[in-house]
Amino acid sequence: MNSWKFVLIFSALITFVAGQLLFKRAMETSHSHGFGKQFAVWFVPGIVSMTVSFFLTLGLLQHLELSYVYPFQGLSVIIISVAATFLLKERLTLQLALGALLISAGVVLVSLS
Amino acid sequence: MLRRALGWLGNPWLQIALNAIIVTISELCLKLGARDTAYLAHSWSWTGYTGLASIWTWLGIVFVVLSLVSWLYVLRLVPLSIAFPLSNVVHILVPLSCWIFLGELISPRRWAGIALVLIGLFVVAKPFARIEEKL
C-alpha cells in the first residue's frame, strides 16, 4: 500500500490541477461565446478530470484519515499558480508567488503532522 | 432591493468564502461515507466506488456539485492564480471541523501549518483587495 498510496495521491493531484485549468478556460470562453459548444470543449474534459480525481480521493479516504489525505492537495497551489501563468497567461506577481509558497508550506506542514 | 441583494451575493469575496464552507461540508460527508464503507473489500475498491454504498457519500456528492457551481461563478470573476490560493482556506476549515465534529486530533505541528496557511492567505488577499477597489 505504501508506494501505491503516493502514486494514487499524485494521480489525484494531477487530475485535480488539470480540471481547475480546464474550468478556468471554460469560464473565460463563456464570457465571449456563452455556454455553447465552445464552452463544452473545455468544460467536459474538466468534468471528466475532476471526476477521476474525486474517486481516487474517495478511495484514499477509505484507508487514511481525511486530515492526512486532503492537505496533499495543497501542493496544487504552487502547480496551479505556475500553470496559470504559462497556460492561461495570468500575471504572477511577487506577492502572489510568496503567498502561494506560504500556503503550500503551511499545507504540507499540516499534512506531515 | 432584489438587485442589491443579488449584487451583494455576487461579491467575489463572499462567493469564495461560501465556496470554502460548502467544500468543507462535502469533505466531512465524504469522510463519513468512506468510514462507513471501509470494510467493503473488493478488488476494485481502490477506485473508491464502494463508498457509494453510504448515504453520506451521496450527500457529499450533492455538496461537491454545489461547490462546483459556486466555484465556476468565482472563476468567471477572479483570475485562477488569485482565486485558487484563496480557496485554500479550506485547509484551515477542514482540520478545524475534523477536530470539532469528527474528534480527530490537531498536533502542534498541524497548528503551525494552519497558522502558515493563514499568513499566506493574507499575503495573497491583499493585492486582490486592491484589484477589487479598482473595479
Q: What span, in angstroms and rounded, lies between the C-alpha atoms of A33 and B87?
A: 27
Residue A80, chain B, CB below 8 Å: the answer is yes
C-alpha cell read off for B62: 450533492
pLDDT band, very low/low/confident/very high, at B134 (cuts 50, 70, 90): low
DSSP state of B44: T
* Domain segments of chain B as ranges: 2-134
- State the Cα angle at B67 between B127 and B52, rounded to 5°: 145
User: pLDDT value at position B104?
Assistant: 85
* Mean pLDDT, chain B, whole residue set: 83
pLDDT digit string, tens, across residues B62-121: 998 999 899 998 998 889 989 999 998 988 898 899 889 888 888 898 899 999 999 999
Split into its structural domains, chain A has a count of: 1
Cβ distance of B85 and A81 shorter than 8 Å: yes
Nearest alpha carbon to residue A57 among B61, B21, B87: B61
Domain extent for A56? 2-112
Cβ distance of B51 and A61 shorter than 8 Å: yes
Q: How many residues are given for chain B?
A: 135
- Please say whether the beta carbons of A109 and B110 come within 8 A: yes
**Residue to substitute from B47, B80, B82, interface A, most A β-carbons within 10 A:** B80
Q: Say yes or no to pLDDT of B48 above 70.
A: no
Q: pLDDT: is A39 or B8 the higher one?
A: A39
pLDDT band, very low/low/confident/very high, at A55 (cuts 50, 70, 90): confident
* Mean pLDDT, chain A, whole residue set: 87
Question: What does R_g of chain B's alpha carbons equal in angstroms?
Answer: 18
Chain B residues touching residue A52 (CB < 8 angstroms): none
Cβ distance of A84 and B64 shorter than 8 Å: no
pLDDT band, very low/low/confident/very high, at B128 (cuts 50, 70, 90): low
Cβ distance of B123 and A76 shorter than 8 Å: no
C-alpha cell read off for A47: 468534468
Cβ distance of B45 and A62 shorter than 8 Å: yes
User: pLDDT value at position A84?
Assistant: 92
C-alpha cell read off for B126: 491583499
Q: pLDDT: is B9 or A75 the higher one?
A: A75
